[in-house]
């Protein structure tokens, strides 16, 4: 019986594999665009890094605010010194337990707090920039995959039409109505349709792979998309777009926060040229024995106050150099803000013009698709009746396929134009 034991593991593996093959595959996950955006935000390292930076900036603001408030510290020390050699200590045994309330008075404290607040606003704006950029990327991938799915359906329809027209050509050849050249032309069109189908399948697979990388942490391809490609929102008027951009543009907010940081940096650098003051209040034990009373029944607990005024006198020009550096950064931040404002106006005009052009082109592409489909239907009837040539039929079929694919590309273009416009305005 023992000779069968080495084969038990292999048998169990085969049984498990057969059971796994017999089990039905899970249904694909159906995703809408908002669900896809939520998944992308959760799995994007760039966006998560922006959120982490925002959290750190908020922590810096808390630290800067705490520096303006009193602090309480409990210091515990024990000092042992060789007998009869006290050096600078009070005795051979010295116990120190002191509570210290410390307060700084510095001209740099308030600018440092304002700079930290500006840093938090900057980090929040940068996180919004990262979120909107990610939304544009995911939107492009989402609707590209939907368009590729439509193109795949078009390729399959074109293949079915080519197969049907090849059958018609052969029937007409057998009836002596057309030459064998028509059959050859129909066969060539069939091969081209098969090649186009394989290319459409490849493009769809590539688009799905690219989108899966953005949406899933474990590289899952078992998903499908809710098809709302033809339900694009309307383009708001330019006046509303400008109003939204003025109120909700993170690029301007980030540039303004950088300028505020630079201004506060100048104040901090100048504060190094001014006096500073600190105050400490101590309460506790500093005695030869760790007790409330000494051997003479005198209290060991006591308090003291120490104030320190620091006046900067000479630092080899380092403090003034820091002031000049801060002023240079302030001028650069001002230039950056002005450039960002100009870029926003230009980008707003450009993105809006692109969205208008895509919207208008989409209407023309819809008419072309309808006309091409009707032309193919009529030419097909004429070819069956012997009134049209095979070349006319092939030309009509190619035109219909191209018109359908162009319409799908136009839908994606309009969606991308809206997504790029929303990077400046937010949702509308």
> Could you report the per-residue pLDDT of 227-276, keeping only the tens digit for each?
999 998 999 999 999 999 999 999 999 999 999 999 999 999 999 999 99
One-character DSSP codes across 279-308? EEEEEEEEESSSSSB-TTS-B-EEEEEEEE
Question: Largest Cα–Cα distance in the chain?
Answer: 135
**Within a domain: residue 249?**
yes
Same domain as 340, residue 213: yes
Q: Is the pLDDT of residue 407 over 80?
A: yes
- CATH number reported for the structural domain that contains residue 217 in this entry: 1.20.1600.10
Determine the Cα–Cα distance for residues 249 and 230; give it in Å rounded to an integer: 28
**Within a domain: residue 257?**
yes
Q: What is the mean pLDDT of residues 143-157?
A: 97
**Within a domain: residue 2?**
no
Same domain as 115, residue 85: no
**Within a domain: residue 217?**
yes
**Within a domain: residue 7?**
no
Same domain as 267, residue 127: yes
Same domain as 229, residue 123: yes
**Within a domain: residue 351?**
yes
Same domain as 304, residue 231: no
Same domain as 342, residue 239: yes
Same domain as 98, residue 247: no
**Within a domain: residue 418?**
yes
Domain of residue 321 covers 40-69+108-274+315-425
Same domain as 180, residue 146: yes
Query: What is the percent of the chain where pLDDT is above 70?
Result: 92
Same domain as 213, residue 146: yes
Same domain as 189, residue 141: yes
Same domain as 421, residue 369: yes
Average predicted confidence (pLDDT) for the chain: 90
Q: Encoding tokens for residue 43? A: 């799995």
Q: What is the pLDDT of residues 179-226, one digit of tens each?
A: 999 999 999 999 999 999 999 999 999 999 999 999 999 989 999 999
Q: Tell me how many domains the chain contains.
A: 2
Determine the Cα–Cα distance for residues 352 and 414; give it in Å rounded to an integer: 11
One-character DSSP codes across 117-137? HHHHHHHHHHHHHHHHHHHHH
Q: How many other C-beta atoms can be found within 10 angstroms of the C-beta atom of residue 403?
A: 21
Q: Is the pLDDT of residue 348 over 80?
A: yes
Q: Which of 311, 326, 356 is the last residue of a domain?
A: 311
* Closest residue by Cα to residue 352 from 239, 220, 200: 239
pLDDT at 158: 96
pTM, to two decimals = 0.84
pLDDT at 219: 87
Q: Which of 290, 311, 332 is the last residue of a domain?
A: 311
Please report which confidence band the pLDDT of residue 87 belongs to, taking 50, 70 and 90 as the band edges: low
pLDDT at 313: 92
- CATH number reported for the structural domain that contains residue 85 in this entry: 2.20.200
Three-state DSSP class for residue 265: helix
Q: Higher-confidence residue: 256 or 84?
A: 256
Please report which confidence band the pLDDT of residue 15 belongs to, taking 50, 70 and 90 as the band edges: very low
Question: What DSSP state is assigned to residue 233?
Answer: P
Q: What is the mean pLDDT of residues 153-170?
A: 95
**Within a domain: residue 34?**
no
Q: Is the pLDDT of residue 22 over 70?
A: no
Which segments of 272-387 does DSSP mark as H helices, in order? 318-384
Same domain as 230, residue 99: no
Please report which confidence band the pLDDT of residue 94 belongs to, taking 50, 70 and 90 as the band edges: confident
């Amino acid at each position: 019986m023992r000779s069968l034991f080495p084969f038990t593991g292999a048998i169990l593996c085969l049984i498990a594999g057969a059971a796994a093959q017999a089990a039905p595959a899970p249904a694909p996950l159906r995703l809408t665009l908002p669900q896809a955006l939520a998944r992308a935000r959760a799995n994007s390292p760039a966006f998560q890094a922006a959120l982490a930076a925002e959290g750190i900036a908020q922590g810096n603001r808390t630290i800067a605010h705490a520096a303006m408030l009193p602090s309480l510290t409990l210091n515990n020390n024990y000092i042992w010194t060789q007998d009869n050699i006290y050096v600078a200590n009070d005795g051979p045994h010295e116990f120190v337990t002191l509570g210290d309330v410390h307060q700084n008075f510095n001209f740099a404290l308030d600018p440092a707090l304002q700079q930290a607040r500006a840093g938090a606003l900057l980090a929040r704006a940068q996180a919004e920039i990262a979120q909107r950029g990610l939304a544009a990327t995911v939107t492009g991938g989402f609707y590209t995959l939907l368009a590729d799915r439509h193109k795949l359906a078009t390729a399959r329809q074109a293949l079915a039409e080519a197969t049907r027209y090849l059958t018609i050509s052969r029937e007409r050849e057998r009836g002596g109505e057309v030459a064998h050249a028509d059959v050859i032309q129909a066969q060539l069109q069939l091969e081209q349709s098969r090649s186009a189908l394989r290319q459409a399948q490849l493009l769809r697979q590539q688009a799905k792979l690219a989108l899966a990388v953005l949406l899933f942490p474990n590289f899952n391809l078992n998903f499908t998309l809710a098809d709302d490609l033809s339900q694009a929102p309307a383009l708001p008027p330019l006046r509303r777009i400008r109003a939204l951009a003025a109120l909700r543009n993170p690029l301007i907010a980030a540039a303004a926060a950088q300028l505020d940081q630079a201004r506060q940096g100048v104040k901090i650098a100048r504060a190094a040229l001014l006096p500073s003051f600190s105050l400490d209040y101590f309460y506790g034990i500093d005695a030869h024995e760790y007790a409330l009373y000494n051997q003479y029944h005198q209290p060991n607990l006591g308090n003291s106050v120490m104030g320190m005024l620091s006046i900067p006198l000479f630092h080899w020009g380092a403090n003034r150099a820091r002031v000049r550096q801060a002023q240079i950064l302030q001028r650069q931040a001002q230039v950056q803000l002005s450039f960002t404002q100009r870029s926003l106006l230009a980008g707003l005009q450009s993105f809006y013009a692109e969205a208008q052009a895509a919207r208008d082109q989409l209407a023309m592409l819809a008419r072309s698709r309808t006309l091409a489909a009707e032309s193919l239907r009529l030419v097909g009837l004429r070819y069956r009746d012997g009134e049209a040539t095979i070349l006319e039929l092939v030309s009509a079929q190619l035109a219909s396929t191209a018109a359908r694919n162009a319409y799908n590309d136009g839908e994606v273009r309009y969606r991308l134009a809206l997504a790029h416009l929303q990077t400046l305005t937010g949702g509308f």
